[in-house]
Structure 1
């Protein structure tokens, strides 16, 4: 067995050298494996709607550290998105000796990490499917001083609040409704995501997610760094964007076509979470790309 698995075959645990990851697994054993990486503040449940239509594959969706049921990165130091590239490399090394994925499927943050990983280690990723994601986020170098100051101030407030009790909400529904109101994501998807990121706490519920996820990173790459990383990207890649998704992705397409040697694009109906709201359409695009 490649991982510890519960009785219904859906929830899994993977012990890596530095951290324990949790996740979800769908599909019949022996079928080609897709590794699915979720977005910021989501979890493995975000791929449940999509898995219904990917019947030719096993879909392994992990919870990033600090999300869902996975362990948190140790300590109380600032987090950075590059941490996830290391986590992914450890996971891919683990899977290489067992059942290497035929493709990495990443949404939002998961797609950014997967794209950067494949650019840096082109021999380790066979194909990429990016949903509402393209490359690492960058900003002008002139922002670096203000970002560092803002980040450290936020972490100082976080450390000062370590002894305070967790916020407890009356029920899951309170938080589900709050996410729906804040993001506009449909209620069924808010429920699917929220429940895996929370736990029962006495008579109510509280977040199990790492609170550091909501704090600013101390540094961010500039365009020159991203451009150098992404140039000559050799991995065959499918980019899926939503009609109501991030408009910046459409603006960035001319640059992306200079980076990727083999880039296919498809624009579908849906918002930033179109792999949930338009799971059938996204699955059809993935099946056509892979099969």
Structure 2
């Protein structure tokens, strides 16, 4: 399979509050899949699927602070719920003829898509989740410590921001670091890293927003997530990796109570199975969508 990024069309989408970058694979006369990537990834993570899902047009966005999209203004802490507003604004901005036949989300992208669809089922036709299920939650007793940790990490960030350079001689240093951390194939690490870095006269540096790596100030309690996810109306396919996050597999009984129409499939692969096992994942997606169509 060709692992180059040259077949996609680069576009920008101006939302009322921020400008997003995106990649388009496929022609406009095909059903659109809106693809939402995971934390610290970018639109390039859907390149492997685009090589197989040729009956569809795929629009893969860069979330704010990722890839080529604008960063959120200011220096305030980031919060996951901001992405729900981004998605709502994006769906509003897309013309009627370009409304997606499905929303596809991996990891963070799946969390956002699932939460958004639970709240606004009338705006989503079908939902495909890859290694994602619902918003993350934790015990209420951790609220104070999380808020404390978040603000401390942001104070440290502001203190060192001006002194921080983080320039590498070439992209291979960052690629190898990601490969060692995630065990993701080096070729895929390079594709992801290329879009998250910028070239300088002295080398390369990160383009992504450094605040993405800082502690979030707040996480929902289980009771809040449970209330949001109850009676999830939209037809949903959940694809898990056989070596993916074990917490997701153990949460299937809860998910069966939340989702009115949920199909679960396991595919050989890790958390990034949509890259390393793209052919099998695309087969599951295509089967699911054509059965619903």
TM-score by length of 2: 0.95
**Structure 2 match to 1:256:** 255
Displacement of 1:183: 1.2
Cα deviations by residue, 1:39-83 (Å, 9 ceiling, x for unpaired)? 000000000000111011000000000000000011110000001
* Alpha carbons of structure 1 residues 151 and 196: separation in structure 2 relative to 1, 3 Å: same
Displacement of 1:23: 1.2
Displacement of 1:162: 2.7
* Separation in 2, partners of 1:180, 1:76: 30
**Structure 1 match to 2:38:** 39
* Separation in 1, partners of 2:59, 2:69: 14
Q: Secondary structure at the match of 1:249?
A: helix
**Structure 2 match to 1:69:** 68
Displacement of 1:234: 0.1
Displacement of 1:271: 0.3
Q: Secondary structure at the match of 2:11?
A: strand
Cα deviations by residue, 1:15-48 (Å, 9 ceiling, x for unpaired)? 1111000011100121110000000000000000
**Structure 2 match to 1:100:** 99
> In the TM superposition, what are the counterparts of 1:10-89 in structure 2 within 5 Å?
10-89=9-88
Name stretches of at least 5 consecutive residues in structure 2 with no aligned partner: 1-5
Displacement of 1:170: 1.0
Cα deviations by residue, 1:194-223 (Å, 9 ceiling, x for unpaired)? 010001122211000000000011000010
Conserved in 1, the CA contact under 8 Å of 2:21 and 2:68?
Answer: yes
Conserved in 1, the CA contact under 8 Å of 2:7 and 2:25?
Answer: no
Q: Secondary structure at the match of 1:271?
A: coil
**Structure 2 match to 1:238:** 237
> In the TM superposition, what are the counterparts of 1:61-210 in structure 2 within 5 Å?
61-210=60-209
Q: Secondary structure at the match of 1:152?
A: helix
1:270 aligned to 2:269? Answer: yes
* Separation in 1, partners of 2:117, 2:193: 30
Q: Secondary structure at the match of 1:218?
A: coil
Q: Secondary structure at the match of 1:157?
A: helix
* Separation in 2, partners of 1:32, 1:85: 23
**Structure 2 match to 1:4:** none
Name stretches of at least 5 consecutive residues in structure 1 with no aligned partner: 1-6
* Separation in 2, partners of 1:169, 1:267: 38
Q: Secondary structure at the match of 1:163?
A: coil
* Separation in 1, partners of 2:221, 2:97: 37
* Alpha carbons of structure 1 residues 115 and 149: separation in structure 2 relative to 1, 3 Å: same
> In the TM superposition, what are the counterparts of 1:205-216 in structure 2 within 5 Å?
205-216=204-215
Displacement of 1:98: 4.3
**Structure 1 match to 2:287:** 288
Cα deviations by residue, 1:223-251 (Å, 9 ceiling, x for unpaired)? 00000000000010000000010011110
* Separation in 1, partners of 2:253, 2:7: 45
